[in-house]
Amino acid sequence: MTMEQVARAFSSHRFEEALPQIHDDVAWELVGGEVLAGKPAVVDVCSSLARDLQDVQTTFDQFRMVSGPASVVVDSVARYLSADGSLSRVASCDIYDFMDGRVVRIRSYNVELAPDTAG
């Protein structure tokens, strides 16, 4: 997978596609929260997120990427519609740093937005 494909898969919650490209010594900083150290910690969180999103309809209102020689930035706004009808929107910016084609660092910024149901 290219750097862009890995970043797109991870940021769009298709973790099973991206996880093989995650370095064993990865660090994932959830800005304002914790820093996950090592691939097992990242896999655990991704597995939990995948379970949480299993019955949630996810739509991206915005999804854009900017690539550099060893980094990819994904700027997105996602709309989450749960099975009980509740709606949430989250703006995210994920910055991926690569070494030898594998993700060695992720920095994620996430902000919950007003659930604008009009679109």
10-residue stretch averages of pLDDT, the chain, 119 residues long: 97 96 98 96 96 94 97 97 92 97 97 73
Q: What is the pTM of this model?
A: 0.92
CB atoms within 10 A of CB 5: 13
- What does the pLDDT read at residue 115? 73
d(CA 104, CA 34): 16
- What does the pLDDT read at residue 73? 98
Q: Which helix (H) or strand (E) holds 7?
A: helix 3-11
- What does the pLDDT read at residue 18? 97
Domains contained in the chain, CATH given = 3-113 (3.10.450.50)
